[in-house]
A and B are shown apart, each in its own frame.
Chain A
Amino acid sequence: MAFKIASSPHVTRNLQTSTVMQRVILCLLPGLVVQCAFFGWGTLIQVLLAIIVALSCEAAVMKLRKRSIKASLSDNSAMLTAILIGVAIPPLAPWWMIVMGTAFAIVIVKHLYGGLGHNLFNPAMAAYVLLLVSFPLQMTTWIAPSTVALNTPSIIDSLQLIFNVGAHAGMEQFRLGIDGISMATPLDTLKTDLSLGLTTTEIMTKTIFDGSTGVGWFWVNLAYLAGGLVLLKLKAIRWHISTGVLAGLFVASNVGFLLSPDTHASPLFHLFSGATMLAAFFIATDPVTAATSPRGRIIFGALIGVLVYIIRTQGGYPDAFAFAVLLANLCAPFIDYYVRPRTYGHSAG
């Protein structure tokens, strides 16, 4: 009888891409839950909306590309992109923004560059930047954390606000922050107030801060950190990029803080504000757009961390992870070219 021929190795670890993606998604959940707890149902609605759009776009593109739709949808990568966009944009942003952003991420950033594994830029962050530069007002207006808000929108309110149906005039005020539901994020506030000549100590006494970090944001970041640590434990991601990001941000913010504590927020504030933990463990670690070698990945992460700090303190936008990640994406091939491990049996250099 004839026997089956196969090339060695004949065994594999059986850890599939889809499994990796699935684990990442699962580890995002704690952060998502905490985010919903502080900022209402809006985030969840955005995430669901994004998933629907992403999967539809993915399927459509795969059909156009004449590839297996099932294989593509089941690798969970589109879903992960969608969730990342969903948690990144303001909870009460109008529906068309996330639809546009997600479609842009899947169709243009991912598939026009060759699909999974070939895209140069992180799709979620490219979509975020697209929306940020196109609709800066909507993208920087966050809902106030439930603990400090005068009143919080219900799930119906959120739906009405997002889809702009049956909304009365008062509803629009939620979004515009007139009645105090919406307000600037802690990072934004810090930036504005510093420009007004206040010291960090004075700023931190505002209601949106709880002394050292932003209200709610601290817990959101902590939840993402926990999810990220689980990811590390599961070896779905490696420590290099995350460590690089956090170390880069910590060192840079520490330098600023030590030089001038009155005009620079503490490293703790930076590490637990905005999208720091989300980006460090879930966004920057996207392997497709990162550097590949371990050493390259540390450099890649550190670059993101430092860029984030520079843009946060010097740039025009309150948070900076999207820009920092995209800039680092640009550098990844360069880093890969120059940072190669020394092969066994070869002398250094």
Chain B
Amino acid sequence: MLTLLDQLDKGTLWRSPGGIHPPEVKFLSNTTPISQLPLAREYLVPVPQVGENCTLTVKVGDKVLKGTPLTQGTSIWHLPVHAPTSGTVVAIEPRASNHASALPVNTCVIAADDEDRWCKLTPGSLELSNQEMIAKIHRAGIAGMGGAAFPSHIKLNPVSEIELVIINGVECEPYISADDRLMREYSQEILAGISIIHRLLAPKRIVIAIEDNKPEAIKAMQQAVSQSVLPTGSVRVTVIPTKYPSGGEKQLIQIITGREVPSGAIPAKLGIVVHNVGTAFAIHQAVTQGKPLIERVVTVTGQNVGKPGNYWLPIGTPVEHVLKHTEFHAEADQKVIIGGPMMGHALPTIQVPILKGTNCILVPSSQEIGTTPEEKACIRCGECANACPALLLPQQLFWHAKAEEYDKAASYNLKDCIECGCCSYVCPSDIPLVEYYRIAKSALKQAADEKHQAERAKLRFEARIQRLEEEKLAREAKAKEAATRRQATMTATDKDAVAQAMARIAAKKAAAAETTADKATVEVVDADASNNTEAPKGKAAVAAAIARAKAKKAAAAAQGADDAESSQQVVSSLQTASSDQSEPTEHAESLSQKDKVAAAIARAKAKKAALKADSDANGDTEATVSANQPVTESAISTDTDDKKAKVAAAVARAKAKKAAAQQAESTDVAEVQPKHEADAKPESTNESDDGAGNQSSSDAEPSAPLSPEDEKKAKIATAVARAKAKKAAAQQAESTDVAEVQPKLEADAKPESTNESDDRAGNQSSLDAEPNAPLSPEDEKKAKVAAAVARAKAKKLAREAGASSDANE
């Protein structure tokens, strides 16, 4: 098994598939030496030519010398453009481009002064470092001279290691002989350029590939190689059979190495770089003489030109000037083709310049290259597939391209088409296949661009949506914060008033109410009772003490529990309250929406929830809150609301009880400590309610001067509330939900229980809603009975709850 290098040394050739043998017609131009044409009056130098992003270094009216840079680029992809002769910049404006479309491009027009004076050149030597050399080549503006005009300095500075450099002297296009003549006449210079390439790329081998239809060029190059200073065996001339398009980069690599450049990749991936012989010559000129790329060999040929041959043409020479000095005689429907007959483009106008990649001007007679025959039906003969060097199925591509099924054309690897024109050449039906592919390719490119843009737009849109969402959340959070702060300040000031009112009420009540002592409640508050500055002092009535205690507690909470003496419970409940803050808000909302029937109950709850949200009294010990709340509310509200408030108070209390029970049940681990303490407190409150029988009603009673009727109603309401509470507690006692779920459950369960209580309590709930309705004595009795029963049950429940909370602890 021979290695690739052995094969290269042997000159083994591989077969490139497809290809055609069009008439070469090189004899028209390859017999005479490369000559000069007189200077043109004006040179049209498009700026920029290769690579965008550059600035002009001259302005209109500037005198320039031959070789003066006209542009200065910032990008590595930009190649500077130089003045092709000395003269004056007379205009910088859009002029027709050297393109089939002739679309105007920015062009620097230089009026020659006929002196053709060089600017100062800085000849270099091989002592330069590689980077200096590459920079010099870059500054000289050297582009690939084979036609594609790819910046050469980039190919000379590859990221990967290069094993093989192929110097392309194939020149497979018919008619063109520029490289042929250059190799014949400047083989030494080309070899010098190759030496520089060898220096820069340090490849293992350099192969100069020439088609066998150029025997003189082959001989000249072989001679130059034999005289070369390069290490023996590192560079060789390989003669390849004449076939179009062997000079295509990919095809040449296949012929020389048998390898294929992967689709979408560059030859450097295989460790191969291909340079044109003209490029090698230009590199030599740039490095050793400092000459920028301002002129090149151009074949002027075709039967309609009197002096066909090869000419040194400055870049920017108008085609018109060239044709005038080569005795061009136009006929009707004359074609002027830039490049060869296979891949060249026809010019609509000849007031366009020679460019760095222009290798031929072809002006054929109509006998040579006639008008394109009319397209006929494809007979699927498959000749195109036989001719295709890329092994495509041109016929399938054509079907799909013609039907504008571009995606299907793409699935037949349309992008691998090199547009060599072999398929069109062999087509018996004269179908302009390549033209169809070009259209399909541009359509695909456009579609890809649009898709790309749409994707970017989508990303932008999504980003915007996200940003708006974030802004909205931020706004909400801010608003919530502000609302919390506002409410906090508001309730803080209110609370003083509340406390005072409550104290007053308590005082009044203490005077009138029957006294029902409640040890449990006192246990919570009595220690603090003396702290209540506003409260009337010396009231012996336990009820009063309770009220006071509650009021004071609310005040204490509002002060942020800075009261060091306040019981542990208060502090802990505050902690819990803060954690629970958001919950009641939701709860309140849901309530207000849902509960339309039992208006009073709903109101009471909403109040309670609001109170909770305010983070005053406390969150977790809802029992206390609810006990306080109606009192507070009633004090704030007008007397007409008092009755309602009481009813609500009762309901709320019941709820509180329920919540307490629930909390007692909770098996929460995360916040065990505060919870436990929280649990402990409602429990005690519950007990106070239950244990004291009438006590809960007496809590409410003193808050306002009440009519006996109202009193009764309130009691009834209390009873109802207790019943509800009991039920809720029973329900929740069963629940074994985890801590996170619990608050939510609570929120859910409450409206539910309210509804149920509506159903169950029937008239009673309507009584709740309309406390003004007079009660019959029967109702009163019933209510009392119910209340008693409820109390009993509640008591029992509370006991259970207490037990379970103990267990938790």
Asked whether, in the complex, the Cβ of A3 is within 8 Å of the Cβ of B380, the reply is no
List which A1-55 residues lie within 8 A (CB) of chain B.
Answer: 1-13, 15-17, 19-20
Asked whether, in the complex, the Cβ of B335 is within 8 Å of the Cβ of A3, the reply is yes
Asked whether, in the complex, the Cβ of A294 is within 8 Å of the Cβ of B335, the reply is no
Asked whether, in the complex, the Cβ of A287 is within 8 Å of the Cβ of B381, the reply is yes
Chain B residues contacting A117 (CB-CB under 8 Å) are 377-380, 429
> How many angstroms from the CA of A8 to the CA of B364 in the assembled complex?
14
For residue A293, CB closer than 8 A to chain B, the reply is yes
Asked whether, in the complex, the Cβ of B342 is within 8 Å of the Cβ of A346, the reply is no
For residue B393, CB closer than 8 A to chain A, the reply is yes
Query: Chain B nearest CB: distance from A19 CB in Å?
Result: 7
**Chain A proximity mask over B387-399: 1 for CB below 8 Å, otherwise 0:** 0011111011000
**Chain B proximity mask over A64-80: 1 for CB below 8 Å, otherwise 0:** 00000001000101000
Chain A residues contacting B344 (CB-CB under 8 Å) are 8, 10
Asked whether, in the complex, the Cβ of B376 is within 8 Å of the Cβ of A345, the reply is no
List which A303-349 residues lie within 8 A (CB) of chain B.
Answer: 336, 340-347
> How many angstroms from the CA of A238 to the CA of B435 in the assembled complex?
26
Q: A292-B393, A344-B260 are in contact. Are A6 and B335 (CB under 8 A)?
A: yes
Query: Chain B nearest CB: distance from A334 CB in Å?
Result: 14
Which of B17, B262, B428, B438 interacts with A17 by CB under 8 Å?
B428
Output the nearest chain A residue to B101 by Cβ-Cβ distance. A5
A-B pairs with beta carbons under 8 A, tally: 166
Which of B265, B380, B413 interacts with A288 by CB under 8 Å?
B380
Q: A5-B100, A345-B262, A345-B263 are in contact. Are A10 and B335 (CB under 8 A)?
A: yes
The stretch that binds A, out of B346-354, B499-507, B523-531, B559-567, is B346-354
Asked whether, in the complex, the Cβ of B380 is within 8 Å of the Cβ of A292, the reply is yes
> How many angstroms from the CA of A336 to the CA of B416 in the assembled complex?
19
Output the nearest chain A residue to B421 by Cβ-Cβ distance. A9
Which of B336, B343, B389 interacts with A344 by CB under 8 Å?
B389
| Residue of A8, A77, A293 most packed against chain B (CB within 10 A) | A8
> How many angstroms from the CA of A292 to the CA of B383 in the assembled complex?
9
> How many angstroms from the CA of A13 to the CA of B23 in the assembled complex?
9
For residue A118, CB closer than 8 A to chain B, the reply is yes
> How many angstroms from the CA of A240 to the CA of B416 in the assembled complex?
25
Asked whether, in the complex, the Cβ of B346 is within 8 Å of the Cβ of A5, the reply is yes
Asked whether, in the complex, the Cβ of A3 is within 8 Å of the Cβ of B341, the reply is no
For residue A297, CB closer than 8 A to chain B, the reply is yes
Asked whether, in the complex, the Cβ of A16 is within 8 Å of the Cβ of B345, the reply is no
For residue A116, CB closer than 8 A to chain B, the reply is yes
> How many angstroms from the CA of A20 to the CA of B429 in the assembled complex?
10
Query: Chain A nearest CB: distance from B807 CB in Å?
Result: 72
Asked whether, in the complex, the Cβ of A19 is within 8 Å of the Cβ of B428, the reply is yes
Asked whether, in the complex, the Cβ of B413 is within 8 Å of the Cβ of A343, the reply is yes
Asked whether, in the complex, the Cβ of A11 is within 8 Å of the Cβ of B346, the reply is no
For residue B692, CB closer than 8 A to chain A, the reply is no
Which of B262, B377, B385 interacts with A118 by CB under 8 Å?
B377
> How many angstroms from the CA of A234 to the CA of B389 in the assembled complex?
22
Output the nearest chain B residue to A19 by Cβ-Cβ distance. B428
For residue B51, CB closer than 8 A to chain A, the reply is no
Chain A residues contacting B739 (CB-CB under 8 Å) are none
For residue B766, CB closer than 8 A to chain A, the reply is no
Q: A11-B22, A12-B430 are in contact. Are A292 and B382 (CB under 8 A)?
A: yes
Asked whether, in the complex, the Cβ of B342 is within 8 Å of the Cβ of A8, the reply is yes
Asked whether, in the complex, the Cβ of B379 is within 8 Å of the Cβ of A7, the reply is no
> How many angstroms from the CA of A118 to the CA of B399 in the assembled complex?
11
> How many angstroms from the CA of A288 to the CA of B381 in the assembled complex?
7
Asked whether, in the complex, the Cβ of A7 is within 8 Å of the Cβ of B334, the reply is no
For residue B261, CB closer than 8 A to chain A, the reply is yes
For residue B333, CB closer than 8 A to chain A, the reply is yes
For residue B426, CB closer than 8 A to chain A, the reply is yes
For residue A290, CB closer than 8 A to chain B, the reply is yes
For residue A115, CB closer than 8 A to chain B, the reply is yes
Query: Chain B nearest CB: distance from A8 CB in Å?
Result: 5
Asked whether, in the complex, the Cβ of B250 is within 8 Å of the Cβ of A344, the reply is yes
Asked whether, in the complex, the Cβ of B349 is within 8 Å of the Cβ of A3, the reply is yes
For residue B337, CB closer than 8 A to chain A, the reply is yes
Asked whether, in the complex, the Cβ of B391 is within 8 Å of the Cβ of A342, the reply is yes
List which B311-352 residues lie within 8 A (CB) of chain A.
Answer: 330, 333-337, 339, 341-350
> How many angstroms from the CA of A61 to the CA of B390 in the assembled complex?
39
Chain A residues contacting B412 (CB-CB under 8 Å) are 340
Q: A4-B335, A17-B428, A293-B393 are in contact. Are A10 and B438 (CB under 8 A)?
A: no
Asked whether, in the complex, the Cβ of A294 is within 8 Å of the Cβ of B386, the reply is yes
Asked whether, in the complex, the Cβ of A3 is within 8 Å of the Cβ of B424, the reply is no
Q: A8-B434, A17-B429 are in contact. Are A344 and B391 (CB under 8 A)?
A: yes
Which of A5, A9, A77, A288 interacts with B342 by CB under 8 Å?
A9
> How many angstroms from the CA of A137 to the CA of B368 in the assembled complex?
58
> How many angstroms from the CA of A173 to the CA of B100 in the assembled complex?
73
Asked whether, in the complex, the Cβ of B346 is within 8 Å of the Cβ of A10, the reply is yes
List which B523-542 residues lie within 8 A (CB) of chain A.
Answer: none
Q: A3-B348, A4-B333, A116-B377 are in contact. Are A9 and B382 (CB under 8 A)?
A: no
Query: Chain B nearest CB: distance from A211 CB in Å?
Result: 40
Chain A residues contacting B17 (CB-CB under 8 Å) are 344
> How many angstroms from the CA of A336 to the CA of B425 in the assembled complex?
23
Which of B22, B100, B341, B416 interacts with A345 by CB under 8 Å?
B416
Output the nearest chain B residue to A18 by Cβ-Cβ distance. B428
Chain A residues contacting B377 (CB-CB under 8 Å) are 115-118
> How many angstroms from the CA of A347 to the CA of B424 in the assembled complex?
26
For residue B297, CB closer than 8 A to chain A, the reply is no
> How many angstroms from the CA of A241 to the CA of B116 in the assembled complex?
65
> How many angstroms from the CA of A292 to the CA of B378 in the assembled complex?
12
Asked whether, in the complex, the Cβ of B349 is within 8 Å of the Cβ of A7, the reply is no
Chain B residues contacting A118 (CB-CB under 8 Å) are 377
For residue B369, CB closer than 8 A to chain A, the reply is yes
Chain A residues contacting B265 (CB-CB under 8 Å) are 345
Output the nearest chain A residue to B424 by Cβ-Cβ distance. A9
> How many angstroms from the CA of A17 to the CA of B348 in the assembled complex?
31
**Chain A proximity mask over B665-694: 1 for CB below 8 Å, otherwise 0:** 000000000000000000000000000000
Q: A4-B333, A13-B20, A287-B381 are in contact. Are A346 and B438 (CB under 8 A)?
A: no
Output the nearest chain A residue to B381 by Cβ-Cβ distance. A287
Asked whether, in the complex, the Cβ of B425 is within 8 Å of the Cβ of A13, the reply is yes
For residue B372, CB closer than 8 A to chain A, the reply is yes
Output the nearest chain A residue to B392 by Cβ-Cβ distance. A343
Asked whether, in the complex, the Cβ of A10 is within 8 Å of the Cβ of B334, the reply is no
> How many angstroms from the CA of A341 to the CA of B261 in the assembled complex?
17
Chain A residues contacting B260 (CB-CB under 8 Å) are 344-345
Chain B residues contacting A341 (CB-CB under 8 Å) are 385, 391-393
For residue B762, CB closer than 8 A to chain A, the reply is no
Asked whether, in the complex, the Cβ of B348 is within 8 Å of the Cβ of A344, the reply is no
Asked whether, in the complex, the Cβ of A12 is within 8 Å of the Cβ of B373, the reply is yes
List which B247-289 residues lie within 8 A (CB) of chain A.
Answer: 250, 254, 260-265
Asked whether, in the complex, the Cβ of B390 is within 8 Å of the Cβ of A4, the reply is no
For residue B203, CB closer than 8 A to chain A, the reply is no
For residue B306, CB closer than 8 A to chain A, the reply is no
Output the nearest chain B residue to A9 by Cβ-Cβ distance. B421
Output the nearest chain A residue to B337 by Cβ-Cβ distance. A10
Asked whether, in the complex, the Cβ of A1 is within 8 Å of the Cβ of B330, the reply is yes
Query: Chain B nearest CB: distance from A153 CB in Å?
Result: 38
Chain A residues contacting B438 (CB-CB under 8 Å) are 7
Q: A1-B330, A6-B372 are in contact. Are A343 and B390 (CB under 8 A)?
A: yes
Asked whether, in the complex, the Cβ of A3 is within 8 Å of the Cβ of B369, the reply is no
Asked whether, in the complex, the Cβ of A287 is within 8 Å of the Cβ of B335, the reply is no
Query: Could you list some 22 contacts between A and B, CB below 8 A?
Result: A3-B347, A3-B349, A5-B346, A5-B348, A7-B372, A7-B434, A8-B342, A8-B434, A10-B346, A10-B369, A12-B425, A17-B429, A19-B428, A20-B428, A117-B380, A288-B380, A293-B382, A294-B385, A341-B391, A341-B393, A343-B413, A345-B263
Q: Which residues of A contact B (CB under 8 A)?
A: 1-13, 15-17, 19-20, 71, 75, 77, 115-118, 238, 287-288, 290, 292-294, 297, 336, 340-347
For the complex with contacts A117-B379, A290-B380, A294-B386, 4 further pairs of A-B residues with Cβ separation under 8 Å are A3-B350, A117-B377, A336-B396, A345-B390
Q: Nearest 9 A-B pairs (CB), nearest first?
A: A9-B421, A345-B263, A117-B377, A344-B390, A7-B435, A287-B381, A343-B413, A9-B342, A10-B341
